[in-house]
Chain A
Amino acid sequence: MTDLTFLALATVTVASAILALEARDLVYGAAALGITFLGMAGLFFLLDASYVATFQIAVYIGAVVVLILFTVMLVGPQMGEPPMELKRLSLLTALLVSLLLGTAGSLTSATAFPGPDDCGFGCDLIGLSKTLINQYGVPLEFLSLVLAAAVIGALTLAKADRKG
């Protein structure tokens, strides 16, 4: 029998993802999205990526969900579902893409990735920070510039709204 923790987390994640899209009220959808992110953080913890999991909680649930809730509350309820044919086509597309990727993945992943139980250097927190600073230091600086650009862009958008 598979691991109970993984099964529970995976079920919660997938169920809240479906709920996020199908809930009638957008606020419920945003809260369900938050639970999806929490399930994802749990899965990251299972994969020994503890720092990434806390990062996910702090950034996604702590910031993105707040922003989404804020926008939903200020924009207001908007309805609209497409006619039935389009929905069937989209469902078919999604199923087809998932089937394709799933087949490709299971063909490759069966033997090539045995998955050692003991992680060693690959999950070491100190190893992560050393790799991040030494090998990926320059992209890190560029990331901070990109974030600064996003902040300036968002502030400009807010100002443009107030003027016009």
Chain B
Amino acid sequence: MRKLEPLTSFFAVSVILLGIGIYGLTTKRNALRILFSIELIYNAANLNIIAFARLRDPPIVAGQVLVLFTIALAAMEASVGLAIIMLVSRLNVDIDLRKLTRLKG
């Protein structure tokens, strides 16, 4: 069998992606960039779950099941979020999130 990477390597990649995601989430003003960051955070979490479930002793399959659910939910949330962004951009031209502070109008 192939020798697997230690857990620290996968965990490091996951944490780096999480850091990039948080940086994007707090820094960017464009709503679409924030959506990118949210997707990156989702992916980091998924990688983490699968790495921990696989490199456990003994490996369990529940990690993969959980990730199947989270991938579906993340895709669904992204589509609804994109629909909202598209609508907002039609009502007022700017999608700068610091100006979108009201719920109506």
Contact = CB atoms under 8 A, between A and B. Distances in A.
Contacts of A121: 58-59, 61
Nearest to A43: B47
Contacts of B73: 143, 146
A101 B14 CA distance: 10
Contacts of A105: 8, 11, 15
A113 B16 contact: no
Contact of B22 (A33, A44, A94, A118): A94
Nearest to B79: A67
Contacts of A124: 61
B100 interface: no
A147 B80 CA distance: 11
- Is the interface on chain A under 10, 10 to 19, 20 to 34, or 35 or more residues? 35 or more
A156 to B, nearest CB: 9
A6 to B, nearest CB: 5
Given A106-B11, A132-B65, A17 B84 contact: no
B85 A71 contact: yes
A60 to B, nearest CB: 7
B10 A117 contact: no
A9 to B, nearest CB: 9
Interface in B48-105: 50-65, 67-69, 71-80, 82-87, 89-90, 94-96
Contact of B90 (A123, A131, A161): A161
Interface in A99-135: 101-102, 105-106, 109-110, 113-124, 127-128, 131-132, 135
Interface in A17-64: 17-18, 20-21, 26, 29-30, 33, 36-37, 40, 43-44, 46-49, 51-52, 55-56, 59-60, 63-64
Contacts of A13: 13, 17
A154 B83 contact: yes
Interface of B: 1-13, 15-24, 26-30, 32-33, 35-37, 39-40, 43, 46-47, 50-65, 67-69, 71-80, 82-87, 89-90, 94-96
Q: Which 9 pairs across A and B sit closest by C-beta, in order of nearness?
A: A122-B59, A98-B19, A115-B55, A94-B23, A90-B26, A90-B27, A150-B76, A80-B29, A21-B24
